[in-house]
A = this chain, B = another copy of it.
Amino acid sequence: MKLVECVPNFSEGRVKARVDEIASSISSVEGVRILDIEMDENHNRSVITFVCPIDRAVEAAFRGIKKASELIDLDRHTGAHPRFGAADVVPFVPLSGVTMDECVALARELGKRVGEELQIPVFLYGEAAMREERRSLENIRSQGFQYEQLKTAIAEERWKPDFGPSSVGKAGATIIGARDFLIAYNVNLNTSNLNIGKKIAKALRARDGGLTFVKALSFYLEDKKMVQISMNLTNFNKTPIYRAFELVKLEASRYGVNVVESEIVGLVPLDALLESAKFYLQLNGFKNSQVLEKKLWG
């Protein structure tokens, strides 16, 4: 079955009944499975993670956006996290049997419907971006440029939305896109020297010459008395887990420091872990379809 993940962010993190109502509108589409709902009071924002067959994804996301536009008034919304709209960011993520191109198509189809039927301005981002400068979410909205600023700026050519009107109502604007699955991956080291951690994180992350699809920071874990290299792996197909792990290990060895353990936060796609098993066991000819459960469920 062709499965897509969708992780819409909504500008409501305090009134549970509202978030539940949005989630219900999403799961009212047959085949949708909601995996997780996270509410953040301080950010006044919630993140709903759902998975569904590819042909239901646009309808499910659309219903969530529509319901959010009915329930949330941006003129009355405050919170620590920057936001453009009631439904703020809606990324599609390819899961099993789905390509990035298909997710890009979903994002654009949804964008068109939201713009035309709900009259909400839509900006496309990530792999679905139609303007190169809109590829990165940070380039679109930030602490200094969000709903309040967009209200007037949207009349300018550079803020013309990809779909929908060039004016902002109480539901704000929605940023819709496609991106790869993100793995939150940490490696803990047997040192309490944060300077070593910072050097290792720097060696790992893309922008300082490390691995292309790794974002890395370093923290000191008070409870464990260990330094942690905390990473986001933004494309596990191209930069697999084992490569990040082995590179941390290598850079740590430079300081006589060893890896104590590593940690995956939250969910991880099966194929990402299979890739590591195949690497270490040198399983050259292995096909992922040999996994019994894939035969049952694929």
Of the four ranges (under 10, 10 to 19, 20 to 34, 35 or more), the interface on chain A belongs to 35 or more
Instruction: Contact check, A270 vs B242: say whether CB atoms are below 8 A apart.
Output: no
B290 and A268 within 8 A (CB): yes
Is A259's CB under 8 angstroms from B282's CB?
A: yes
Which residue on B lies nearest to A35, using beta carbons?
B295
**Which of B33, B273, B295 is A273 in contact with, Cβ under 8 Å?**
B273
Q: What are 28 A-B pairs at a CB distance below 8 A?
A: A35-B295, A35-B296, A96-B293, A242-B281, A245-B282, A259-B282, A261-B282, A262-B282, A263-B286, A264-B283, A266-B290, A267-B290, A267-B291, A267-B295, A268-B290, A268-B291, A269-B291, A269-B292, A270-B270, A270-B294, A273-B273, A273-B274, A273-B291, A276-B281, A277-B277, A280-B280, A293-B293, A297-B297
Please tell me which one of the listed residues B33, B242, B268, B296 contacts residue A296 in the complex, with CB atoms under 8 A apart: B33
Q: Report the bound CA distance from A92 to B293 in whole Å.
A: 17
Does A22 touch B at the CB level, under 8 Å? no
Given contacts A273-B277, A276-B280, A291-B270, contact A296 B264 (CB under 8 A): no
CB pair A262 B290 closer than 8 Å: no
Please tell me if A241 contacts chain B, counting CB pairs below 8 Å: yes
Nearest CB of B to A273, in Å:
4
Chain A 155-171 interface 0/1 with B at a Cβ cutoff of 8 Å (1 = within): 00000000000000000
Residue of B nearest to A5 (CB): B292
Least CB distance from A51 to B in Å reads 6
Contact B281 A268 (CB under 8 A): no
Given the complex, which residues of B lie within 8 Å of A245, measured CB to CB? 281-282
Q: A212 to chain B: closest CB distance in Å?
A: 20
Asked if A209 lies at the interface with its beta carbon under 8 angstroms from chain B, I say no
